Each structure stands twice: as structure tokens, then as C-alpha cells.
Amino acid sequence: MPRQGRLNIEGGIYHVIQRGIERRDIFRDDADREEFINRLGKGLKETGHHCYGWALIPNHFHLLIRTGVKPLSDLMRKVLTGYAIYFNRRHNRKGYLYQNRYKSILCQEESYLLELVRYIHLNPLRAKLVKNIEGLNRYKWSGHSVLIGLRKADWQSTGEILEQFGSKKSEAIKKYIEFVEDGKDIGQREELTGGGLRRSAGGWIGVLSLKRANAGWQGDERILGDGDFVNKVLKDSEESMIKKERLKKEGWDINKLVRKVCEMTGIKEEEIHRRSKDSKISQARSLVIYWGNKELGITGVELGKYFGITKPSISASIKRGEIIVRNKMYNLTI
């Protein structure tokens, strides 16, 4: 059975799991773990994603990520590829480091965000890396110690989680610790590693047919949420795919997008390639890069080559373009 494609939802919450090949260790010592989190922190800053929870276990890891404009794969490619090269070189080994591709589960935020933060941060206790909650509080290689203020990681987003437990930080930390303690005896929760609704062979139309027939739903390992959430994710994903196919058939590419943006902003096409501090030219370039990435699926690497600029500049332009569109300064109708 062919594997299912990734679900790329801007602003989505993803539970990411990656295991070592044949369940072998991918972290042999603290130097490995430090290398991994350094790469993770750098990748988060470059892609604009946020990390709410994480735990490093010797033979696997868990991450809880909110994506930005870029797909989750941009972050994971940066982290996993670079770390595998580092690990093989350092430990004088060859071959694959990971067991297949990483697993990413799109999660319904309202129902599962805090449950997943707790589940992920309790992993060292379930794996018997620590003996009790006190040991978990001191465990260096998870986001739990960062949330309770015993360690610092400027790349981990803590405010959005703690504010769920109270407006005063000290009280929020206390309630968060109580929340984690309440879950320490629950054990493995299979539903937090997948669930939801499986697409039928007939695609979205088939799903609608099943719904009208009141047929039972099966799990989809890519999604964790109730029926309405799963329905919306699948529908949005399919509509996005259909739109990209339509744009491709209509001849939309980077050159056509440049012409459209130049027409909208009132600048000449040759000007958009100039290294200029002119705000209008900078805005136009940012719009092309943002829409090119979001609407046409053009990668950051391709956009960087087209404009002759670096990866950090592409990331900054995507963020700038998103702000311009969000402020409704320009609207692309295609």
C-alpha cells in the first residue's frame, strides 16, 4: 500500500516522532543530544516554526511543533539530514540512521495541545530514564525542565503553554507541574500517536459518501482529532492540492507571478531583481516570494536561486510577505 502524503497546514500543531533504524540509539551521549538541539533551535529560527514540547530518548525523539508559512518538512529536512551526517561521521558509521521517514501527526489544538505537551514530557519517565517527577524536573533533555524554569532554551516557546495555566508565571508553573503529575500513571496512550478519519479510495467525494451513509470511521495516522476536525483538514488539503494543479495548468509559474505582482504594485519587472532598499521594490519581492512559496509551492531554494539571495533572506522575505498580506495591503486573486 503506498504511503500517504504529508498534510501541510499553515499554523498546524504537529506531533513528530522519529526512531532509530532497528530501534538503535540515535543519541549515544550528551554531545549527540547537544548537537541535535542546537540544530533544532537553528532550524526553528530559520523556518519560523515554534516548538512547544520535546523529549530526547536514546533511540527516538518526540517534538510538538506549530508550523509557520513553510511546511514542516523544511524544518525536519534541515535537522535530520545534518544530524545524520554528523552522527555517522562522529561515530565512524555508514548507512541509514533513522527507521523510515519521520512520523508527523496533525493534531486538533483545542482538544490535544496540553495533552500532547504532557504526554511528550512524560516520555523520559515512561522510558525509565528518570525514577520520578523530581527526576523528570531535573532531566536535561526535554522541554519540561524549560517550562518549569530550571533550564533555558530560547528556541522553545513556553509562554503559549504556561498561559493556559494562569496569568502569573509562578502560579502557572505550579499548576503545570500538577497537571504533569496527574498524568504520570496513565501510561502509553496509543490515541496520541494517531487517530481520526481515514480517506476512502474515492478521495474526498468518497468521504462525503461515507458520511451521508453514516458509515463508521477508521483511523488516519496523519491526524488526531474529532470527525469535524478531520473532515476540515482533509477537505482543505484536497482543495489546496486541486488549486495548485489548476494553477499549474493555467501556466502559473514564478515569471507569471512576478508580472502579476509588478502590475499590482506599479513597479517594472526588471526592478524587482535589483538589490534596492526602496520599500516598494522590497515589498514586491517579498510578495512574490511569499505567494510563490505558499500558493505555487516553489521551494525556498528555488526562490533563492531565482532572486540570487540567501536562505535567511528568503525566510525573512516570506515572513515580511505574510505580514503585508495579513495587513491587507495587497490581495492576490488567482
Mean pLDDT lowest among 7-21, 118-132, 207-221, 274-288: 207-221
Same domain, 45 and 158: yes
Q: Is residue 3 in some structural domain?
A: no
Most confident of 173-182, 222-231, 238-247: 173-182
* Residues 108 and 28 occupy one common structural domain: yes
Average pLDDT of every residue of the chain: 83
Whether residues 22 and 154 share a domain: the answer is yes
Same domain (yes/no): 263, 135: no
What single string gives the DSSP state of each residue in 97-146?
A: -BSSSPEEEEE-HHHHHHHHHHHHHTHHHHTTSSSSHHHHHH-SSBSHHH
Structural domain of 214 = 194-249
Phi, psi values for residue 98, rounded to 5°: -105, 155
Flag whether 333 is in a domain: no
Q: How far apart are CA 7 and CA 260, in angstroms?
A: 29
CA 210 to chain centre: 30
| Predicted pLDDT at 109 | 78
With cut-offs at 50, 70 and 90, classify the pLDDT of residue 31: very high
In a domain, 284, yes or no: yes
Domain boundary residue, one of 173, 191, 209: 191
> Which pTM was predicted?
0.69
**Domains: count for the chain:** 3
Q: Is the same domain home to 19 and 151?
A: yes
Q: Is residue 7 part of a domain?
A: no
- Whether residue 114 is contained in a domain is answered as yes
Grid coordinates of 220: 488516519
Q: What is the pLDDT of residue 318?
A: 87
72 & 202 share domain: no
Q: What is residue 334's predicted lDDT score, i.e. its pLDDT?
A: 63
Q: Do 116 and 241 fall into the same domain? A: no
Same domain for 268 and 221? no
User: 153-169 burial, b for 16+ CB within 10 Å, e for fewer?
Assistant: bebbbbeebbeebeeee
Q: What is the pLDDT of residues 187-201, one digit of tens each?
A: 666 556 554 444 333
Q: 58 and 155: one domain?
A: yes
Query: Is 331 a member of any domain?
Result: no
Looking at the structure, tell me whether residues 57 and 201 fall in a common domain: no
Q: Is residue 274 part of a domain?
A: yes
pLDDT at 45 over 60: yes
* CB 311 within 8 Å of CB 300: yes
